[in-house]
Structure 1
Amino acid sequence: MNEIVTVIDIETTGLNPLTDHITEIAAIRAEVGPGGYIREIGRFQTYVALPDGVEVPKFITKLTGIKTEDLRGAPHPVSALISFDWFVGSSTVVAQNAPFDLSFLDRPEIDFEAESFACTRAMSRLIDPNENASLAPTCERYGITLNGHHRAMNDVEATLQLYAVLREKAEVNGITYRNVVVDSAERPLTYTPPGAIVRTITKTKEAV
Structure 2
Amino acid sequence: MRALILDTETTGLDPATGDRVLEVAAIEVINFMPTDRTFHKLIDPERDVPEEAARVHGFTREMLIGKPLFAEILPELLDFLGDDPVVAHNAPFDFGFLDHEFRRCNVPVIDRSRMVDTLALAKKRFPGLPNSLDALCRRFAIDNSMRTSHNALLDVQLLSQVYLELMGGKQPGLSLGIQGNGPMLVASAGPVGPRTPRPILPSPEELERHAAFVGRLKDSLWSNFPPAGG
Normalising by structure 2, we get a TM-score of 0.66
* Cα shift readout 1:148-195 (whole Å, capped 9, x = no counterpart): 2410001000111100110127xxxxxxxxxxxxxxxxxxxxxxxxxx
Aligned to 1:186: none
Aligned to 1:112: 109
Worse-matched range after superposition: 138-147 or 93-102: 138-147
Note the 1:50-129 alignment, pairs <5 A: 50-51=45-46, 54-106=47-99, 107-108=102-103, 109=105, 110-114=107-111, 115-129=113-127
Distance 1:155 1:122, change over 3 A: same
* Cα shift readout 1:111-151 (whole Å, capped 9, x = no counterpart): 23144221111110010111111111111111112232410
What are structure 1's unaligned runs of at least 5 residues?
Answer: 170-208
CA shift, 1:76, in A, is 1.1
In structure 2, C-alpha distance between the alignment counterparts of 1:112 and 1:42, rounded to whole Å = 23
Q: How many pairs align? A: 162
Checking the alignment, whether the CA contact within 8 Å between 1:49 and 1:72 is kept in structure 2 is yes
* Cα shift readout 1:6-35 (whole Å, capped 9, x = no counterpart): 0000000001022201110001011134xx
Question: Larger relative contact order (C-alpha < 8 A, sep ≥ 6)?
Answer: 1
Aligned to 1:48: 43
Checking the alignment, whether the CA contact within 8 Å between 2:27 and 2:34 is kept in structure 1 is no
In the alignment, does 2:162 pair up with 1:155?
Answer: no
In the alignment, does 2:26 pair up with 1:27?
Answer: yes
Note the 1:126-205 alignment, pairs <5 A: 126-146=124-144, 147-148=146-147, 149-168=149-168
Checking the alignment, whether the CA contact within 8 Å between 1:98 and 1:118 is kept in structure 2 is yes
What are structure 2's unaligned runs of at least 5 residues?
Answer: 170-230
Q: Secondary structure at the match of 2:131?
A: coil
> Greater helix share, 1 or 2?
2
